[in-house]
Amino acid sequence: MWRLWRKIRKTGRVAEPAPARPAGPLTSVAARLGGSVQIRHVDAGSCNGCEVEIGSAFGPVHDAERYGARLVASPRHADALLVTGAVTRNMVEPLRRTYDAVPGPKLVVAVGDCARDCGVFKGAYGVVGSVGDVLPVEVSVPGCPPTPEAITAALRGITGR
Amino acid sequence: MSPAGLSFVAALVGLGLAAVAGFALPGAARPAVVGALSAVSGCAALVAGVGALAGQAWSVSLPGVLPLSGLVFAIDPLGGMFVAVTGGVVAAAAVYGVGYTGHGLSGRLPQSVFPVFAAAMLLVPAAATVGALLVCWELMAVASLLLVVTEHRERPEVASAGRWYAVMTHLGFAAILAGLMLFAAAAPGDSFAALRAAAPGMTPGSRTVVFVLVLAGFASKAGIVPLHAWLPRAHPEAPSHVSALMSAAMVNLGIYGIIRVGFDLLGGGARGWWIAVLAVGAVSALYGILQAAVATDLKRLLAHSTTENMGLVLVGVGAAGIFATSGERVLAGLALVAALLHTVNHAAFKTLLFLAAGSVLRATGSRDLDALGGLRARMPATTLLFGVGALAASALPPGTAFVSEWLLLQALVHGLPASGAVTAIAMPLSVAVVALTAGLAVVTFVKAFGTGFLARPRSEAAARAAESPRGMVAGMVLAAGACGVLALAPTVVVSALGRATAIGRLAADPISGNAVTVRLGGVAGALSPLMLAVALLAGVIVVLGALRLLASRRARREARLWDCGAGPPTPRMEYTATSFAEPVQRVFDNVLRPEQDVEVTHADESRYLVAAIEYRRAVPDRVERRLYVPVLTALRAWGRAARGLADGSVHRYLGYGFGAVTVLLIVLAVTR
Amino acid sequence: MNVVTPVAQVLVVAGGSPLLVGVMRQVRARLEGRAGPGVGQPWRDLRKLLRKEPITPRGTSEVFRLAPLVLAATTLVAAAASPFLATTSALDPIADLFAVVAVLTLGAVVLALAGLDTGTAFGGMGASREMTITALVEPTLLMATFALSVRVGSTNLGAITTATLHDPGRVLSPVSLLAVVALAVAVIAETGRLPVDNPSTHLELTMVHEAMILEYAGPDLALVEWASAMRLTVFLGLLATLFAPFGIAVTASPSALALAAAAFALKVTVLGVALAVAEVFLAKLRLFRVPELLAGSFLLGLLAVAASFFLA
Ligand code: SF4
């Protein structure tokens, strides 16, 4: 316990100083959320590269939580779906159901090139299409994988903080 | 004759008529007439009991009926309380019984025995001689036994339950008989007045023998551990309204006997008696609720909970005795009122719960909680009423048992310094037991209500259930009304119960209060159940108002259950009663010693492929295993040995006779 | 009839409890090297949830719909009845320690029933675990209550606080110290904090409280979250009031009440921060180790009662 305390003292704050807020007005849905966005992450068929980056966006260094975003355990608690990967055949229906389970107002964030336009998996036999082909996507984050900074910036675009 | 006496006699006459009607009338009209007559008689008995509690004494002497002393019946406030409780239970059960007629229940035997059983239960607390008490006690036992075995043709378990009940109730009867005969032998007659006068002249040793014998007999009727083995068998197997009578009214008479003999006739006695009573009460409370918490048979669960509640009552009685023997009259009165109030409360909610369980049984044909569920949609009235009963049973406000357990805790808390080291050790442990019991009761009834009535049906039968007919619902509503009154306005009852405790060395009226607040006399303590209920209601209204003000006005949307996006969750994925209670069972593994057994069958091709897994689990009654099985085994061995002696040879029998006569002659010669 | 006190208490607890949760999250974030979302975040979350669409999962009943209301009502009643700001109140007849504990337990029960009502595996699992813990916490809570009430001769909260106010030295007696530890463990278990339950877990298998409320959305969820924040405040407030009732108003004058409110907020915040700091150092216990923890605290409670008798 003492060692942990010393470590806490020595490490201090690791969160990087917040960059300037991305410019641009909030969408109508995001404006109604008022600075609090609960997020349910859905892996629709990703290679898990995007997951690693999401994990690091919510880690101490980038600390997406400080802008009012938070990962939650149930889509019922969520305002936004964070979808990664090209939508595979097996995940089409679960993805739709997850979206249906979220109470409105709600929005979908497509993270990564796969989610945006199927990326390297375009035309693969198991892939149905991009997230946009299945759900109305509000925000998409390009990159393969996108950097945590990009993900954080996209989330700030929804929370408005 | 006082009004109380009049209505008591009217109740008995009514029940007599009902018994005749049940025997003589044709089948179709039978249930309605018997039910109506019994219900009216029950109400009359309730009035009589309340009258007796209000101070109207009544007695009648029938000198010619029994040889020696004849029969004397009298109701004093203590007896009146039990008469009133029995009357109330009979009324609710009788109304219910009008509609509850499946499975041969409208037959001649059950319909004519039901009123007899009720009458016997009314007469027991009114008996004022040993002879009268014993006769009525036996009548009650036989009548209830006949009712328990009503459905023996349909289910083999009924016959086994009947055998257990018959043997144990008669062993209990023998103990009471022996105890009271010993007592009466020391007195000039067998009337209670004579016994009361003779008690101070007896030696402490013989008084203790009397008390222990009587305690064993009465405690077995109340289902107290370790004499409880018959209760979880017989109560569930009886038809449900009879279960209600047994579990809500008959068990109380065991408590009545202990109070009557211990406090009244023997006049208090030694502290050791009451420590023993407290101890068996505490053990019963814990053991009963633990068994109930892991039970999956709805009626068995309720029967185990009866053991628990009677245990709590005995904790109160034992504490009252301990306080009384150390001269703390106020505390003793408080503890006894708590015990009596809990008896009344238990009668109300257990009636309700057993009747509701009967409705479920009738609608689904099942008592197995693991196969029920989802009844709220098909049986809304029964669900609501069972919910009321479950709330009342789980010692939560605004429930019924909450008030009496609060009183009990008050008595125990204030009793800590009462009589030195004994109470300093006993009271904290008792508080702990009461608290743990209350906690486990919450688990038990959340399980019973949550898995039995909420969620989705786990079987075809549960999915096709239908609401009970109006008569049955009416019976349950009566019991629920009693629960409501007892929960919200306990002061009405409590002040009357104060009078019932004015026996022996106890103080009368330990509790005062206006219509709203219960205030303890002599010690600091007050509680207002009504105010609590109103506050909760006000809280709900405030929250609702705040929600109206702040929340969006968007319409509610129906959505499918969150199933992680996969197919819809099937009922097989639900938590069952067994799985709900599993953590509790694991925590109390050392006490319960469940037997589980997992059998894995591998596929033929490879032992890495599993074809089937079978899981079996049973929670045996450990007391039974340890105590009854050895005795039964010994008895059986003894019987087998005796059979070896009787091999059918006439010469041998002649030899036995000759040997016996010789031995007798030698004994006589030596002792002369 | 002094109705000002209960109303003021409800307002303070209702308004302050999300802030308390905010402070606790912020402390935790700072210790983890994060920046943290700010103290006001729980209020922002609640505001947003209230604006969202309510959802009724198919196959659930009124029990599911009414549970958040009743849960919130029970915490409000507990907040109104306990002597947080003043020792006298119109609700004195229900300010009994047993009654307050029972009312709070009622809230837990209602939520467990709602979890079972959904008929999902997680709802049942959460309900089962929550009820098991509740059953085991009950003896500890009552035993600590008992220890505190012995020296006063009453289980009335107002009476206990008044007695402590008049004789502050009692707080340092062995009875008090044993009882405070026992009560603290019980409070941690009842409010679902580490090491009994992890309030911020996303892993269904380790959930207790969260598992029961997985189906709630929108305003219903807002009520549940708000009520659990209030529950935390009420329990910490009870702990603070029973062992350190200093600053509490003896009269119902507005200035005294305002002062008492400030003192109350300070005490509860200190306790909350201490809890949050402690949580950083703790890992969640396995569910079946929790009974051992509770048995230990029960034993402390029993010792406290024994001490109150033998040292008196
Ligand atoms: S975008 Fe790149 S990292 Fe993300 S899932 Fe697709 S391939 Fe993997």
Test mutation, B552, B561, B564, chain A, max A CBs within 10 A: B564
Task: Report the percent of chain C where pLDDT is more than 90.
Answer: 31
Q: Do B528 and C90 contact (CB within 8 A), yes or no?
A: no
Q: Which atom of ligand 1 is nearest to the CA of A49?
A: 3
Of B346, B344, B339, the residue nearest B411 (C-alpha): B339
In chain B, the residue whose alpha carbon lies closest to the alpha carbon of A43 is: B565
Which residues in chain A have Cβ-Cβ distances shorter than 8 Å to C210?
73
In chain A, the residue whose alpha carbon lies closest to the alpha carbon of B567 is: A94
Of C267, C183, C273, the residue nearest C12 (C-alpha): C267
Q: Does A137 touch chain B (CB under 8 A)?
A: no
Distance C13 CA to ligand 1 centre (A): 47
Which residues in chain C have Cβ-Cβ distances shorter than 8 Å to A70?
37, 45
Two tokens, residue C88: 């006298």
ipTM (interface predicted TM): 0.93
Q: Is pLDDT larger for residue C217 or for residue B68?
A: C217
Chain centroid to CA B132: 23
User: Helix, strand, or coil here: B455?
Assistant: coil
Instruction: Judge: B583–C132 Cβ closer than 8 Å, yes or no.
Output: yes
Nearest to B559 among A74, A95, A101 (CB): A101
DSSP B116: H
Tell me the average pLDDT across A58-68. Answer: 90
Instruction: Judge: A68–C44 Cβ closer than 8 Å, yes or no.
Output: yes
Of B389, B383, B385, B311, the residue nearest B350 (C-alpha): B389
Nearest to A101 among B554, B562, B566 (CB): B562
| Nearest-CA distance B432 → chain C (Å) | 5
Q: A17: phi > 0 → left, psi -120 to 50 → alpha, else beta; which?
A: beta
Chains that touch C (3 or more CB pairs under 8 A): A, B
Tell me the average pLDDT across A103-127. Answer: 90
DSSP B594: -
- Largest Cα separation within chain A, whole Å, is 56
pLDDT digits (tens, 9 = 90+) for C104-129: 999 999 999 999 998 888 888 999 99
Q: Which atom of ligand 1 is nearest to the CA of A113?
A: 1
Nearest-CA residue for atom 5 of ligand 1: A46
- Largest Cα separation within chain B, whole Å, is 103
| Nearest-CA distance A32 → chain B (Å) | 12
Burial of B138 (0-12, 13-18, 19+ CB in 10 A): middle
Q: Do B268 and B505 contact (CB within 8 A), yes or no?
A: yes
Q: Do B380 and B287 contact (CB within 8 A), yes or no?
A: no
| Nearest-CA distance A102 → chain B (Å) | 9
Question: Going by C-beta distance under 8 Å and a sequence separation of 6 or more, which residues neighbour residue B661?
Answer: none
Number of neighbouring beta carbons within 10 Å of residue C123:
32
Which residues in chain B have Cβ-Cβ distances shorter than 8 Å to C81?
535
pLDDT at A77 over 70: yes
Which residues in chain C have Cβ-Cβ distances shorter than 8 Å to A26?
none
| Nearest-CA distance B569 → chain A (Å) | 13
* Tally of helices (H runs) and strands (E runs) in chain C: 11, 1
Two tokens, residue B46: 């309730």
Q: Where are the domains of chain A?
A: 30-159
Q: Where are the domains of chain C?
A: 4-310
Instruction: Tell me the best of A54, A87, A111, A114 to mutate to test the pocket of ligand 1, counting ligand atoms within 8 Å of each CB and taking the most.
Output: A114
The list of chain B residues with pLDDT below 70 reads: 1, 64-69, 102-104, 417-419, 502-525
Nearest to A94 among B554, B559, B565 (CB): B565
C-alpha–C-alpha distance, residues B406 and B55, integer Å:
27
Amino acid at A95: L
Of the listed ranges A102-116, B52-66, B344-358, C247-261, the least confidently predicted one is B52-66
pLDDT score recorded for residue B515: 46
Question: Going by C-beta distance under 8 Å and a sequence separation of 6 or more, which residues neighbour residue A84?
Answer: A41, A42, A43, A44, A46, A50, A51, A54, A110, A111, A112, A114, A115
Of B340, B341, B378, B345, the residue nearest B359 (C-alpha): B378
Residues whose beta carbon lies within 6 Å of some atom of ligand 1: A 46-47, 49-50, 84-85, 112-114, 119-120, 144-145
Query: Mean pLDDT of all residues in chain C?
Result: 86
In chain B, the residue whose alpha carbon lies closest to the alpha carbon of C111 is: B446
| pTM recorded for the entire structure | 0.92
Q: Do C68 and C226 contact (CB within 8 A), yes or no?
A: no
> Does domain A30-159 fall into CATH 3.30.43.10?
no
Q: Does B560 touch chain A (CB under 8 A)?
A: yes
C-alpha–C-alpha distance, residues C255 and B362, integer Å:
64
Instruction: Tell me the best of A42, A43, A144 to mutate to test the pocket of ligand 1, counting ligand atoms within 8 Å of each CB and taking the most.
Output: A144
pLDDT digits (tens, 9 = 90+) for C76-98: 999 998 888 887 777 777 888 88
| Nearest-CA distance A24 → chain B (Å) | 27
Instruction: Tell me the best of A56, A84, A87, A117 to mutate to test the pocket of ligand 1, counting ligand atoms within 8 Å of each CB and taking the most.
Output: A84
Distance C95 CA to ligand 1 centre (A): 59
pLDDT at C1 over 60: no
